[in-house]
Copies of this chain bind each other. A is one copy, B any other.
Amino acid sequence: MSAGDNNFESSDTGRSGAPLKHAESVTFEDSVELDRGEFLDEVTVAYETYGELDSSGDNAVWICHALSGDSHVAAHDERDDPGWWDVAVGPGRSIDTDKYFVICPNVLGGCRGTTGPDSINPKTGERYGRDFPTITVNDMVDVQRRLLDHLGIDRLLAVTGGSLGGQQALRWAVKYPDRVRGVIPIATSTRLSSQGMAFNVVGRNAIRRDPSFHDGQYYDRPDGPQVGLALARMIGHITYLSKESMRRKFDQTRTAPRRLDAEFEGRFSVGSYLGFKGAEFVERFDANSYITLSMAMDLFDLGASVDDLVEIFKDNPCRWMVMSFTSDWLFPPKESQDIVEALIRADRSVSYCNITTDCGHDAFLLPADIDSYGRMIGAFLAALTGDADRRRSNRNTESGGLRPNIFHPANPQRLDYDVILDLIDPGASVLDLACGNGDLLAALTERGHHRTLGIEIHQGDVIACVDRGLDVVQADLNDRLVTLCDKQFDCIVLSRALMEIRDVEGVLEGMLRVGRKCIVSFPNFGYYKLRDMLYRDGRAPEAGVLHYKWYNTPNIRVLTIRDFEELCDELGATIHQSLALDTEQGIEVCEDVNLNADLAIYVISS
C-alpha cells in the first residue's frame, strides 16, 4: 500500500449539491418565538423519510443529526448518495427501514434546506447573515415538533441522535415526553464540558476573526470566511477522533503525507488530512451555520448536577437507552453516566452501555462497532414494540444456558435463582447486581415485576440483556457509579458475586441503604469438602472442587457462612432469613450449615 492510502476515509460524508431524493420540506408561515425571546417570521424544515408509517402510526423513529450532518441520514437506494448513518439505517439494519418509518430533519440553523443564517429573511428579502438569531437546542426541537404534527404522527416510537443530535434527543424527551416512547441519546451529555466548549469557542473565533467574515454578511461577496471555517473544522475533527485512532491513521505515513490541499500545511500526514477535511468542509457548509449550531451546543444545559437531572427526569414516561464510547473524550462516558445515574434515581426505565472502542467520539458513525451499538439500538427498538417479549423467554434455552460459574460449571438449573425468586415478594421492584445475561431479571419480568434493573460490567452480557428487552446498566460495582436513593428498591439481589468484589463493605453498605430487602448468595468456603482440601490436602480450597484454580479465579474474596454473619453484625444488618444449599445434591441443608452447605442465601436489611 502506498504512503497515504486509506488516510482519507472518514465518518462524515460530504455530499454533492445534487437534489435530494425522497426529500421533502414544509414551511410554517406563522411567526415562531424562540427560546431567547427573538422571533423567526417563518420556518422551513427540510427532511427525509424512509420506510412506511404503519396503520397504527406507532413505528416512527426520529433521527437528529449532529453539527455537520443533514437530513440525508441514509441512501434511499443503491443509486442514491451515501447518507451519514448508512451503517445503522436501512433495510435489515439496526434501524430497520423495512420495519420502521424513519424521519430525519435538517436542523434549525443548519444550511441544508432548513431555515438558517443563509436563508432569505422574509423581512428584508436578503439572507439573514448576522441577523439570524441565537437559537438553542430547545428551538430546534420545537420546530421538529411542528414537523411531527405536520406529519400527523402522535407519538414517536423513538428519538435518537449522537453528539448535538443526542442533545436534541434529550430535549425531545424532556420537552415532549408524551410524544416519545423511547429515547436513545448517544455520545452526548446534558451540558458540554468546559473543555468541549473551549474547542467550539476557538472555532468560532477563527471564523469571526477571519477578515472575510465581514460580520457575517459575506454572502454577496466574492470571498467568505473559508479559512476560519476550515480551521474550526480542523479543530472539531481532532476532537472527534481518539489519540489511538489518530495514531493508527497517521503514524505509518507520519512525515510522508499524500498531498491534497496546498492551501494548508501539508508537511505531516495528519496535517495533510486535516487540511483536506477543512477545505472539503467549506464547500458544503456555511460559516454562520457553524457558529449558530456550535453556539447552540454550548448553550445547551439541562442541569449542572445529577440532582438537577433527577428533578428533570422525575416523572418522565419514556424508556431510555444511553450509550457512550470508552475512547470518546469530547463527550466522555462520565457525562452519559450522570444521565443514567439521574434516571435510575428518578426510577425511570433505563439501559446503558459504554461501548469499548478506540474510535473516539466518531465511533457512533463508524462501522467498527456497529455490532455492539447497532445491535443495542435494534434490540431496544424491538423491546419498545414488544418484539423482545418472545425473545426473553426463549433466551435461556437458545443461549445454551448459563455462563459457567464457580459453583455451576455444569448446573443449568441454577437452584439459587429458584430459591431467590421465591424470596422476592410479588411485584417488588428489584435491582440485580452483577446480573449476567439477565436470567433472573427475565424470570422476574415473566412473573410480572414491572420495575427491574440489572447492573453488569461485561459488555456482552449487557447487550444480551438489552436483547431480551431488560433494563440493564453497565457499571462496575466497585466504582459505586450508581449512587442510588435510600430504600429505592424493594429488593436488591447480589447473587454469587460477593466474592468477586473488592470493596465488599462499600457494596454491602450501599445495598443495605438502597434496598428495603437485600438478598445475598455466595459460595461457602466453610463447606466440608473445601475445608478438607485445605486441612487434609494442604491445597487452597478453590483448586479442585471448583471450576477455577487459585491463580486464575475471578474470586478475590474467600468467606464462610460464619464470616458473612459476623460482617452483617458489624454492619448492623438484620438477618431475616437464611438458606443453605448443597447444590450438588440439589437440597436444602438444615444442620451444621457452615459445614454442609456449599451455597448460602441470606435475606438482610439495615
Contact = CB atoms under 8 A, between A and B. Distances in A.
A450 interface: no
A269 interface: yes
Interface string A501-540: 0101100000000000000000001100011001101111
Interface stretch (A80-88, A149-157, A192-200, A342-350): A192-200
Interface stretch (A18-26, A241-249, A387-395): A241-249
A538 B531 CA distance: 8
Contacts of A234: 198, 201-202, 205
A208 B227 CA distance: 11
Interface string A269-280: 111001100000
A535 B535 contact: yes
A274 B201 contact: yes
A531 B563 CA distance: 15
Contacts of A542: 558
A238 interface: yes
A251 B303 CA distance: 12
B539 A562 contact: yes
Contact of A559 (B251, B550, B562): B550
B552 A201 contact: no
Contacts of A250: 194
Interface residues of A, number: 75
Contacts of A336: none
A559 B558 CA distance: 12
A304 B538 contact: no
A595 to B, nearest CB: 7
Given A194-B246, A274-B202, A275-B205, A539 B551 contact: no
A206 B210 CA distance: 10
A69 interface: no
Interface string A235-268: 1001001010011011100100000000111011
7 contacts: A194-B270, A201-B271, A202-B231, A205-B271, A231-B231, A243-B329, A251-B304
